[in-house]
Amino acid sequence: MSVSPTGLLTLLGEPIRWSIVQRLARQDLCVCHLVDDLTLAQPLISDHPRALRQAGVVRAERCGAFTY
Protein backbone atom coordinates (compact mmCIF):
# COMPACT_ATOMS: atom_id res chain seq x y z
CA MET A 1 0.00 0.00 0.00
CA SER A 2 1.29 3.43 -0.85
CA VAL A 3 0.88 6.39 1.45
CA SER A 4 0.98 10.06 0.53
CA PRO A 5 3.76 12.29 1.88
CA THR A 6 1.26 13.99 4.17
CA GLY A 7 -0.01 10.61 5.36
CA LEU A 8 3.54 9.47 6.02
CA LEU A 9 4.26 12.57 8.10
CA THR A 10 1.06 12.02 10.05
CA LEU A 11 1.93 8.37 10.59
CA LEU A 12 5.49 9.10 11.76
CA GLY A 13 4.44 12.17 13.74
CA GLU A 14 3.01 9.87 16.39
CA PRO A 15 5.76 9.55 19.04
CA ILE A 16 5.36 5.81 19.65
CA ARG A 17 5.49 5.01 15.94
CA TRP A 18 8.54 7.20 15.48
CA SER A 19 10.27 5.41 18.37
CA ILE A 20 9.43 2.05 16.80
CA VAL A 21 10.83 3.12 13.41
CA GLN A 22 14.03 4.38 15.05
CA ARG A 23 14.53 1.07 16.86
CA LEU A 24 13.75 -1.02 13.78
CA ALA A 25 16.21 1.03 11.71
CA ARG A 26 18.98 -0.25 13.98
CA GLN A 27 17.95 -3.91 14.20
CA ASP A 28 15.13 -6.39 13.67
CA LEU A 29 12.98 -6.61 16.78
CA CYS A 30 9.90 -8.58 17.68
CA VAL A 31 6.92 -7.00 19.39
CA CYS A 32 8.03 -8.42 22.75
CA HIS A 33 11.31 -6.48 22.43
CA LEU A 34 9.40 -3.31 21.61
CA VAL A 35 7.15 -3.83 24.64
CA ASP A 36 10.22 -4.12 26.87
CA ASP A 37 12.03 -1.16 25.26
CA LEU A 38 9.06 1.20 25.30
CA THR A 39 7.51 -0.07 28.56
CA LEU A 40 4.03 -0.09 27.06
CA ALA A 41 1.31 -2.74 26.93
CA GLN A 42 1.57 -5.30 24.12
CA PRO A 43 -1.85 -4.50 22.58
CA LEU A 44 -0.86 -0.83 22.24
CA ILE A 45 2.48 -1.69 20.67
CA SER A 46 0.93 -4.19 18.25
CA ASP A 47 -1.35 -1.58 16.70
CA HIS A 48 1.54 0.67 15.72
CA PRO A 49 3.65 -1.84 13.73
CA ARG A 50 0.46 -2.90 11.98
CA ALA A 51 -0.17 0.67 10.83
CA LEU A 52 3.47 1.00 9.75
CA ARG A 53 3.24 -2.28 7.78
CA GLN A 54 0.01 -1.25 6.08
CA ALA A 55 1.66 2.00 4.98
CA GLY A 56 4.69 0.11 3.64
CA VAL A 57 7.12 1.68 6.11
CA VAL A 58 8.19 -1.62 7.69
CA ARG A 59 7.75 -5.28 6.83
CA ALA A 60 7.04 -8.26 9.04
CA GLU A 61 8.60 -11.69 9.12
CA ARG A 62 7.25 -14.59 11.17
CA CYS A 63 9.75 -16.72 13.06
CA GLY A 64 7.91 -19.39 15.02
CA ALA A 65 5.66 -17.68 17.52
CA PHE A 66 7.33 -14.30 16.99
CA THR A 67 6.89 -11.59 14.39
CA TYR A 68 9.94 -9.49 13.60
- Per-residue pLDDT reduced to its tens digit, 36-45: 999 999 888 8
Domains located in the chain, CATH noted: 5-67 (1.10.10.10)
Q: Which residues contact residue 52 at a Cβ distance below 8 angstroms, ignoring those fewer than 6 apart?
A: 11, 17, 20, 21, 58
Residue 54 has pLDDT above 70, yes or no: yes
SS3 label, residue 39: coil
Rounded Cα distance between 29 and 53, Å, is: 14
Q: Answer yes or no: is pLDDT of 62 > 90.
A: no
Report, as an integer, the average pLDDT of 7-34.
93
What average pLDDT does the segment 19-37 reach?
93
Global pTM value? 0.85
pLDDT number for residue 1 = 60
